[in-house]
Amino acid sequence: MLIRVIYTSTAVVPQTTAVTESILRTAQAANAQNGITGVLCQGQGVYLQALEGERRLVTGLYQRIFADRRHTSVELIHCESIAKRRYGNWSMAHVAMSDLDPATKIEWPEFDPYSASGLLVMGRIDQLLAAGTAIKLPD
Ligand SMILES: Cc1cc2nc3c(=O)[nH]c(=O)nc-3n(C[C@H](O)[C@H](O)[C@H](O)COP(=O)(O)O)c2cc1C
């Protein structure tokens, strides 16, 4: 059974390229092995991540991510059973929100992942993915 989970969190350490790369390298390798797909959006001290895959594996990964000390205030925004993946092409796409903020702020002036509904946040992730340049790390 497939599920999709979306959470938001607050960075504890600055979101430097080195931190991002280390998260993404682990994520893309482990996710590919476990059939997990998703998107990691980050910027302005906030993470927003969608994870999809087998329920047992997504639950286990969420627990590991929850305990990761590089971020805090991990809050589950959305969880649903799915028939089909939305981010099936990505072992973990990465979108930097800060690059897009000036434009998207006009469209989403009040966006705050901690108070937005799951569907709104999923819409925002899709929008970020469509508008941004999702980064794939070199092999
Ligand atoms: C914001 C954020 C997103 C993460 N996303 C993933 C991910 O998609 N897949 C993954 O395997 N690890 C991800 N991690 C890393 C995990 O928290 C954890 O370090 C990793 O799964 C290794 O766990 P282990 O040391 O218990 O084996 C993420 C960490 C952070 C801070």
Kindly give the parts of the chain with pLDDT less than 70.
98-110, 132-139
Q: What is the CA radius of gyration of the chain?
A: 14
Whether pTM > 0.75 for this model: the answer is: yes
Residue to substitute in 52, 57, 68, 94 for testing ligand 1 pocket (most ligand atoms within 8 angstroms of CB): 68
Residue to substitute in 64, 69, 76 for testing ligand 1 pocket (most ligand atoms within 8 angstroms of CB): 64
Q: Whose CA is nearest to atom 17 of ligand 1?
A: 65
Task: Decide: 93 in ligand 1 pocket, CB within 6 A.
Answer: no
Contact 12, 71 (CB under 8 A): yes
| Nearest ligand 1 atom, CA 40 | 3
Give the number of C-alpha atoms closer than 13 A to the C-alpha of residue 91, restricted to the C-beta side. Answer: 15
Task: Decide: 22 in ligand 1 pocket, CB within 6 A.
Answer: no
pLDDT at 138: 44
Task: Decide: 49 in ligand 1 pocket, CB within 6 A.
Answer: yes
**Could you give all domains of the chain from N- to C-terminal order, each with its CATH number?**
2-131 (3.30.70.100)
pLDDT at 17: 87
For 44-76, write each residue's pLDDT tens digit. 888 999 999 999 999 999 999 999 999 999 999
